[in-house]
Amino acid sequence: MTFDDEKERLRRSWVANASAWTEVVREGRIESRRVATDAAIIDVVTSLRPGKVLDLGCGEGWLARALSSAGMEVWGVDASVPLVEAARGLGGGTFVAASYEQLAAGAVELPEAFDVAVANFAILEEDVSAMFTAALRLVRPDGALVIQTVHPAFAGDGPYVSGWRTETFAAFPGEWPESMPWYFRTLSDWVAVLGTHGWRLADVREPVDPRNGRALSILFICRRG
Ligand SMILES: C[S@@+](CC[C@H](N)C(=O)[O-])C[C@H]1O[C@@H](n2cnc3c(N)ncnc32)[C@H](O)[C@@H]1O
């Protein structure tokens, strides 16, 4: 399978699974989100005191709604048209259907000088250059890029090596027509990639499951390099 096949399957999965995803997020069916990771991303973004936030890979828009209800102006961008439509349905931000590649190429009209760009579980590709370039274009020079992703040390039982994995969504309720390829990255590979494309890693958070002390995710706070 080629790199482009995986990218295309990834893109398609977020169209095919849009309604199942919208339902599990809105009904609070993802336990790790409920117990720690939603609060973690809101806390980190809020602590940066931004006026204007860009939510990259916003999905059905829950984070945009949470941040805008705390007084921030939020723009959400996602490549999945049905997810952007779902986000628009509940409001709480301005939602645009576009890929990171389109943003990086300047092919989409968006305001510039965002204080913070955030990507919550929305970096799933091997090649992150478009996402980082888009954030660099759109975030002001003293702004920040905040990324939350699965914690590399607690991400399933596979070998600890970067590579493509498959999420079947079997553990989630509902009908999931397509599985999703996603690129697993070891911690050292994350650190290496975060130092590219004009960004540098400035801070890290590791929210834990309060019931068993296991890390549920990792947050990277990046500044211009
Ligand atoms: C796991 S969902 C997370 C959605 C949302 N951030 C949340 O926290 O619920 C990943 C999202 O990233 C989006 N995404 C992945 N790659 C993308 C790309 N290259 N351009 C735009 N959106 C992308 C998908 O369409 C999907 O909505």
Q: What does DSSP say about strands 217-224 and 199-205: parallel, antiparallel, or unpaired?
A: antiparallel
Q: Are 86 and 22 in contact (CB under 8 A)?
A: yes
Closest by CA position to 115, among listed 176, 168, 67, 160: 67
With a 6 Å cutoff on the Cβ, whether 57 touches ligand 1 is yes
Closest by CA position to 185, among listed 209, 152, 220: 152
Distance 142 CA to ligand 1 centre (A): 25
pLDDT in tens, the chain (225 residues): 456 799 999 999 999 999 999 999 999 999 999 999 999 999 999 999 999 999 999 999 999 999 999 999 999 999 999 999 999 999 999 999 999 999 999 999 999 899 999 999 999 999 999 999 999 999 999 999 999 999 999 887 789 999 999 999 999 999 999 999 999 999 999 999 999 899 999 999 999 998 999 999 999 999 998
Distance 7 CA to ligand 1 centre (A): 12
